[in-house]
Amino acid sequence: MEARVFDGGPLTYLLIRPDDYSPGVAYPLVMLLHGFGASMYDLAGLTPAIHSTGYMYACPNAPYPLDIGGGQVGYSWSRGRPGMPEAPDEGPSVEERLAGFLEEVMEAAGAKPGRVLLGGFSQGGGLTLRFGLPRPDVFAGLAVMSGAFRDADGLRERLPATRDLPIFLCHGIWDQLVAVERGRETKAFLEAEGYSPEYHEYPMAHEISGDVVADLKPWLERVLPPAST
């Protein structure tokens, strides 16, 4: 798989081409949003295990850098700490940046609406719900790993009338950063609003285990079939 960094747009991101990439093939696109304090490289390492030949992948950096210690820089999808009020921001909002990134990366990857899947881990998982649920015309499905709603009630009025978007939810029962109860609450909210998420719990902490990938892979292939080359 080949990765290329794109900079200068709404978000810096990695665009990852599959093995045996062919320019004449219409590859579906999988967008992956990292968690708090990580970077675009974090979930990029997951892509070969998901599918190495049938998809293009896009992994953006969140817009707000932060010092994570030891001279290392991580990135956040909010200007405040997770669960805390965000600081005022005079620039584009995170959703505006994501919308601009989505337009740019779909053009770069040659992806069409309905041939894109959005996924995220932890903070990126919560943003996947917030950004993805109002856009069923664009996304074929949403994958939320160890994430939860930040403001479910605030999103309710933005939900579409038709609520059949496929959603994959998973959580670790030993998660000490985003408690499993929040994952269960997210599942319950979605079901109350008419969605039918596929929900999994695993004997893990705040992480993406091999068992997660083993369940995510067939779900993804069913919801957004890989390209045939």
pLDDT digit string (tens) for the chain, length 229 residues: 899 999 989 999 999 999 989 988 999 999 999 999 999 999 999 999 999 999 999 999 999 998 877 888 899 998 765 555 555 556 788 999 999 999 999 999 999 999 999 999 999 999 999 999 999 999 999 999 999 988 888 889 999 999 999 999 999 999 999 999 999 999 999 999 999 999 999 999 999 999 999 999 999 999 999 997 5
C-alpha to C-alpha distance for 12 and 223, rounded to whole angstroms: 27
Q: Using alpha carbons only, what angle is made at residue 135 by residues 96 and 14, rounded to the nearest 5 degrees?
A: 55
In one letter, which amino acid is 210? Answer: G
Strands (E), 63-164: 64-69, 72-76, 116-121, 139-145
Return the structure tokens found at 90: 């005079």
